[in-house]
Structure 1
Amino acid sequence: MKKAVFNWSGGKDSALALQKIIQENEYEVISLLTTFSKETLKSSMHNISLDILTKQAESIGIPLYTVFFAKELNNYDEKMREAVDHFKQQNVAHFIFGDIHLFDVKTYRESKLNPLGIEVLEPLWGKTSEEIMEDLLRSGIKTKIIITQADKLDSSFIGKDLDADLVRLFPSDIDICGEEGEYHTLAYEGGPFKKKVEFLISEANKISHEFKLDDGELKTFEYWQAEVTCIHNL
């Protein structure tokens, strides 16, 4: 089997893609890899804490490799090169991601990793969001919504399990899988997990982030974000 590293977000698409990789039995996933903010110790994309991601990795049975970025991501290339060098010493030539259809994201990953001798694998690539959602709902993977874009999904969606009933409540103008950033999830049971990952959602806070658009314009987006606490099993 070819050795690979799985780039783990902690959410639904990662869980579904990892389950697919495990079932196909072509690659040996020797490690999960998650990127974190050095300041908050939370994951870059889903804002999940290190202790919860560690619990996910323990439940899955694959070790977690952590990469810590500075606030402005000005050390991104350096840190990813260090990670690649670490895994190439273990004969890894493939990094796996759970992207669906954002071509610019896939192209960016390839532009950074291919020159370092790493092939990017996307097991969910090419399916529509509707097909991915059908696969997810059939998979047995359980996830909760932990972040929503405030103008797309209100705070009532925070902490809800992503199931067929909830999906039917989504507005028609959003991507059903949240591929445009409408929502993010935390996976906690089923699929690649051997036991349930226990956590507590205590409240939802409204936060804002400023992003620079392709034309250089700065735009502020508001989000509802869950306060998630890991429950440590005794």
Structure 2
Amino acid sequence: MQLSEKINDKVIFSSWSGGKDSALALHRALKELKRVDILFTMFDETCVHTRAHGLSKRLIQAQAESIGAKLMMRCATWETYEMEFLEFLKGVENGTGIFGDIDLQEHKDWVERVCATYNVSVLEPLWLEPREKLIEEFIREGFKAKIIATKTEYRELLGKDLHNRETLKLIEKLSIDISGENGEYHTVVYDGPIFKEPLEIKIIGKHSTETNEYLIVNI
């Protein structure tokens, strides 16, 4: 039996950061599931920017509209993250969630534990795939993403397009993980096969912390 037959009319959601891994995971899942109903994004406690990548609600909403899914969000500190995530899961009980984990076992274990609370099936389309292979697939499939956050020591990546081969050469030169799985960089996806139309990303500012550099982007 096909997975798409098993879930029938149960809610399908994507745990959505707005970046490359959640986008590629959704793309792979859609080949089998054929639909996604909800993009779920966790925002920070101010409800202004996403918890993971510091993206605006307007930008995430534009991604959802172009994908053809409903955006749902909750707001949390790191301390209240699990509680807020469980509140969301309560509303999609017995559904299916798509996640973009690659090989961080601790996070996958957490996802499976909290989803089990409400009998939510977990799909991990990227799990244990070679990171280089995933980046190549991301580019080959036509995705476009901009690097919008980096650790301070890798600030020269800020604003670069990930799908540009020169960017990949720079990542290699810096001797960092090609997927940024250790937090070296984060991306926002603005075009690709899951989008009905590309987003026009505008860089409207920049800010720094002791450890990271961020672009402020919107549409």
C-alpha separation between the residues in 2 aligned to 1:40 and 1:7? Answer: 17
Partner of 1:56: 63
> Deviation above 4 Å: which 4+ runs of structure 1?
none
Partner SS, residue 74 of structure 1: coil
C-alpha separation between the residues in 1 aligned to 2:125 and 2:111? Answer: 14
Query: Matches of residues 79-98 of structure 1 in structure 2 within 5 Å?
Result: 79-88=84-93, 91-92=94-95, 94-98=96-100
Partner of 1:167: 168
The one-character-per-residue Cα deviations of 1:44-97 (angstroms, maximum 9, x if unpaired) are 11111111000000111111111111x3x3333332222112112xx51x2111
Partner of 1:213: none
Is residue 15–residue 191 contact of structure 1 (8 Å, CA) maintained in 2? no
Query: Matches of residues 183-198 of structure 1 in structure 2 within 5 Å?
Result: 183-198=185-200
Partner of 1:13: 21
The one-character-per-residue Cα deviations of 1:173-192 (angstroms, maximum 9, x if unpaired) are 31101011100000001220
Is residue 16–residue 139 contact of structure 1 (8 Å, CA) maintained in 2? no
Greater fraction strand: 1
Give the TM-score taking structure 1 as reference length. Answer: 0.84
Is residue 19–residue 189 contact of structure 2 (8 Å, CA) maintained in 1? yes
The change in CA–CA distance for 1:67 and 1:141 in structure 2 (over 3 A counts) is same
Greater fraction helix: 2
Is residue 8–residue 32 contact of structure 1 (8 Å, CA) maintained in 2? yes
| Ranges in structure 2 where 5+ consecutive residues have no aligned partner | none
C-alpha separation between the residues in 2 aligned to 1:140 and 1:203? Answer: 27
User: Among 25, 30, 41, which residue is 1:34 paired with?
Assistant: 41
Please state how far the C-alpha of 1:40 moved relative to its aligned partner. Answer: 5.0
Partner SS, residue 168 of structure 1: helix
The change in CA–CA distance for 1:40 and 1:29 in structure 2 (over 3 A counts) is closer
Please state how far the C-alpha of 1:27 moved relative to its aligned partner. Answer: 5.8
Q: CA RMSD in A?
A: 1.6
Please state how far the C-alpha of 1:21 moved relative to its aligned partner. Answer: 1.2
User: Among 83, 87, 106, which residue is 1:104 paired with?
Assistant: 106
C-alpha separation between the residues in 2 aligned to 1:59 and 1:29? Answer: 12
Q: Does residue 225 of the first structure (1) align with residue 209 of the second (2)?
A: no
Query: Matches of residues 136-147 of structure 1 in structure 2 within 5 Å?
Result: 136-147=138-149
C-alpha separation between the residues in 2 aligned to 1:40 and 1:87? Answer: 21
| Ranges in structure 1 where 5+ consecutive residues have no aligned partner | 209-221
C-alpha separation between the residues in 2 aligned to 1:204 and 1:50? Answer: 17
Report sequence identity in percent: 35
C-alpha separation between the residues in 2 aligned to 1:201 and 1:157? Answer: 14
C-alpha separation between the residues in 2 aligned to 1:75 and 1:150? Answer: 27
